[in-house]
A and B are shown apart, each in its own frame.
Chain A
Amino acid sequence: MTQALALEPSPDTITWRRVSRRLVVIEELQVLASTVVVVAANLAALLFIDNRLPLFVAAVAIAIGLVSAVLVARSVRTWRYAERDDDLLVRHGLFLRRLSIVPYARMQFVDVTAGPLERLFGLATVTMHTAAAASDARIPGLPSVEAARLRDRLSSLGDARSEGL
């Protein structure tokens, strides 16, 4: 049971790290962008269609956008990761909560990806791939320096502890 407590609410035994707060901005911008596209398309449609339906759709889109803006902000803040001696812990989720424990020994390769928006904010996503697709550990919103450090550490640990399958 002590170990359970060690994993769930993150006390002294594990030092959970958070991802950058700038990730919230990126995610919010993505929500904003998709809302704007839908609203703009519907307003444009208003020019050709002679009823109020597009207005209604646009209103719904704005409402959804607002709700998801709130949820995204909260959801992004739930990303946590921790490097233990033998495994990487990643935890995330607002409604669907996930905790992954991936041993370094199982690592096949590490990916560092950064989309245009992420690059603008100096962030990157680190993904540790294993032989099972379900157990790939993905950590978004890491500052580039931290991402590079994590990649190097993961690959050195992975090499040192590699065991094949």
Chain B
Amino acid sequence: MSIGEAVTSTSTAEAPDREITATAVEPRQRLHPVTPLLRGLHMLAIVIAVFSWQGYQELGPARWALGALAVLVAALTVAAVSWLTTGYQIHGRELRISEGLLWRRTRAIPLERLQAVDVVRPLLARLTGMAELRLEVIGAFRAEAPLAYLSLPVATRLREHLLSLAGGLDGLTPGQRPVERPVHSVRNGRVLLAQLLTPHTWFVPVGLVVALLPYQRQEVWNLVAVGSMLTAMVGVVQVPIRRIVDDWHFHILEDSAGLRLYHGLLSTRSQTVPRQRIQAVGVTWPLMWRPLGWLQVRMDVAGYGAHDRQAGMNAGVLLPVADRETAHPVLAEVLGAHLLAPPLTPAPTRARWLAPLRYRLLAVGHDRDLVYARDGWLIQRLVITPLARAQSVRVVQGPIQRLLRVADVHVDTAGRLHVVGEHRDVDEAYALAATLASAARAARAREMGAHHRSTSAPTTNTSPT
């Protein structure tokens, strides 16, 4: 990454040199004026959802409506004040977000640390043409600073701009839309069928029976009873439905900034992931999909969705469902990975003493740019990491492993997926560690070289005027 350039440009931005500062600092901007209304409605919806049935039962319709109105007014006021005090500003290579009335807080987000930018459109926002911009920053404990809400064109433009400042786009003038090239789209029928073949879905009938049993002897069917029964049912069918809804219209595009994933039925999400930020990719063959030969691909982007449970469920999905033949070109495009014939060497047979069920699948291997590791018994798993992303290489050998003359080789990344070659022959393990360490160095050097060549044009091109 262009740390060197980043450092110089921030220091010039901070320097008292008026001219440079003037070009680097953009005027402070507000979120879209509709924001307080949407936020207020959102808060109202949450409050109603929390107090709904019980509150309705105790208060009666009139007082309940009055209470809701009071909450609405309060929520709107709070949202309006927060809108008035929130602003964002691009300052050199930082995005500054200031907020708060009593406790003023300004967060400066260094753009070099930007991992990905998502444009998220919840249902309510979608109806009003608004969008939310989510920035994923390395080292942040949760998805940093959702900018909500911006109008869709503003959000898209800001995303291009931030990504170009972050060094994701090469030599693209701001405002110019990058050319998107379709890579793959997933058929909706498949998503549906794949979700029907998951344990979650198979559990639904059982869950429904358990949820509805208490209402079996209900004598009086009033609004409250129906409502709470519906709530219970929603809880049961929520997971499979949500997966289907989230993965609907899943398509992958590619532009100079990196990968762009679009998906969602009700609330659409478009994620932009710079290619070099992918720490690892995990390919899984779930048990029930095995007869169909289907697999799922998740990607691990550092700091991405790790602390955001709602987004975490889906943030890492690269392919919700695919077969080997369709996944292969996508992975080749994204990482240069070879899914049809990965360069794997199996673990020695004596590994069966330590992994009696998994030893047949245990395998590890590498090519010029990637490390592969296979694992699993009922559920087969393949983890692929670019060598350029490796943080360290480790060899670990336990006492029993020493008796069997085997050792584990770990390739650690900044993400959650690590490549582990379990139970390798001990000589091979140390040799592999040494080779991987030097191959990782070579891969880093190649990447740095490529980056310097492509960004040799001055970065001032991309900075706004």
Contact surface of A with B, Cβ cutoff 8 Å:
1, 3-4, 6-8, 86-87, 93, 95-103, 105-106, 130-132, 134-135, 137, 162-165
B64 within 8 A of A: no
Contact partners of B399 in chain A: CB under 8 A: 95-96
Contact partners of A102 in chain B: CB under 8 A: 391-392
- CB contact under 8 A between A106 and B1, given known A4-B434, A132-B412, A163-B444: no
Report whether B441 and A103 are in contact in the complex, using a CB–CB cutoff of 8 Å.
Answer: yes
Query: Which residue of A is nearest B396, CB measured?
Result: A98
Contact partners of B410 in chain A: CB under 8 A: 134
B138 within 8 A of A: yes
The answer for the CA separation of A100 and B395 in the assembled complex, in Å, is 6
Residues 23-77 of B contacting A (Cβ, < 8 Å): none
Please name the 7 residue pairs, one residue from A and one from B, whose CB atoms are nearest each other, closest first: A135-B392, A164-B1, A4-B431, A131-B414, A3-B434, A132-B391, A135-B412
B228 within 8 A of A: no
Query: Which residue of A is nearest B437, CB measured?
Result: A101
Contact partners of A137 in chain B: CB under 8 A: 392
Report whether A165 and B392 are in contact in the complex, using a CB–CB cutoff of 8 Å.
Answer: no
Residues 397-450 of B contacting A (Cβ, < 8 Å): 397-399, 402, 407, 410, 412-415, 418, 426-428, 430-431, 433-435, 437, 440-441, 444, 448
Contact partners of B393 in chain A: CB under 8 A: 100-101
B102 within 8 A of A: no
The answer for the CA separation of A97 and B407 in the assembled complex, in Å, is 9
- CB contact under 8 A between A97 and B437, given known A8-B430, A134-B410, A165-B277: no
- B1 CB, nearest partner CB in chain A, Å: 3
User: When A and B form their complex, what is the total count of cross-chain residue pairs whose Cβ atoms lie within 8 Å?
Assistant: 106
The answer for the CA separation of A139 and B421 in the assembled complex, in Å, is 25
Return the contact of A86 from the options B138, B396, B441 (Cβ within 8 A). Answer: B441
Report whether A7 and B430 are in contact in the complex, using a CB–CB cutoff of 8 Å.
Answer: yes
- CB contact under 8 A between A135 and B394, given known A103-B440, A163-B444: yes
The answer for the CA separation of A66 and B302 in the assembled complex, in Å, is 45
The answer for the CA separation of A103 and B435 in the assembled complex, in Å, is 13
- CB contact under 8 A between A165 and B1, given known A86-B441, A96-B398: yes
The answer for the CA separation of A86 and B1 in the assembled complex, in Å, is 18
- B93 CB, nearest partner CB in chain A, Å: 13
Q: Is the interface of A mostly helix, strand, loop or mixed?
A: mixed
Report whether B412 and A105 are in contact in the complex, using a CB–CB cutoff of 8 Å.
Answer: no
Q: Which bracket fits the contact residues of B?
A: 35 or more
Report whether B391 and A163 are in contact in the complex, using a CB–CB cutoff of 8 Å.
Answer: no
Contact surface of B with A, Cβ cutoff 8 Å:
1, 3, 112, 138, 276-277, 279, 302, 389, 391-399, 402, 407, 410, 412-415, 418, 426-428, 430-431, 433-435, 437, 440-441, 444, 448
The answer for the CA separation of A93 and B415 in the assembled complex, in Å, is 26
The answer for the CA separation of A101 and B409 in the assembled complex, in Å, is 11
Can you list 6 A-B pairs with a CB-CB distance of less than 8 A?
A: A8-B427, A97-B398, A99-B433, A103-B440, A132-B392, A164-B3
Report whether B427 and A4 are in contact in the complex, using a CB–CB cutoff of 8 Å.
Answer: yes
Contact partners of B398 in chain A: CB under 8 A: 95-97
Return the contact of A163 from the options B138, B394, B402, B448 (Cβ within 8 A). Answer: B448
- B66 CB, nearest partner CB in chain A, Å: 53
The answer for the CA separation of A137 and B426 in the assembled complex, in Å, is 22
Report whether B3 and A1 are in contact in the complex, using a CB–CB cutoff of 8 Å.
Answer: no
Report whether B394 and A100 are in contact in the complex, using a CB–CB cutoff of 8 Å.
Answer: yes
- B236 CB, nearest partner CB in chain A, Å: 37
Query: Which residue of B is nearest A88, CB measured?
Result: B392
- B112 CB, nearest partner CB in chain A, Å: 7
- CB contact under 8 A between A100 and B434, given known A163-B444, A164-B1: no
Contact partners of A130 in chain B: CB under 8 A: 391-392, 412, 414
- B409 CB, nearest partner CB in chain A, Å: 10
Report whether A165 and B394 are in contact in the complex, using a CB–CB cutoff of 8 Å.
Answer: no
Contact partners of A87 in chain B: CB under 8 A: 437, 441
Contact partners of A135 in chain B: CB under 8 A: 391-392, 394, 412
Contact partners of B428 in chain A: CB under 8 A: 4
Report whether B433 and A162 are in contact in the complex, using a CB–CB cutoff of 8 Å.
Answer: no
Report whether A99 and B392 are in contact in the complex, using a CB–CB cutoff of 8 Å.
Answer: no
The answer for the CA separation of A67 and B424 in the assembled complex, in Å, is 31
Report whether A132 and B394 are in contact in the complex, using a CB–CB cutoff of 8 Å.
Answer: no
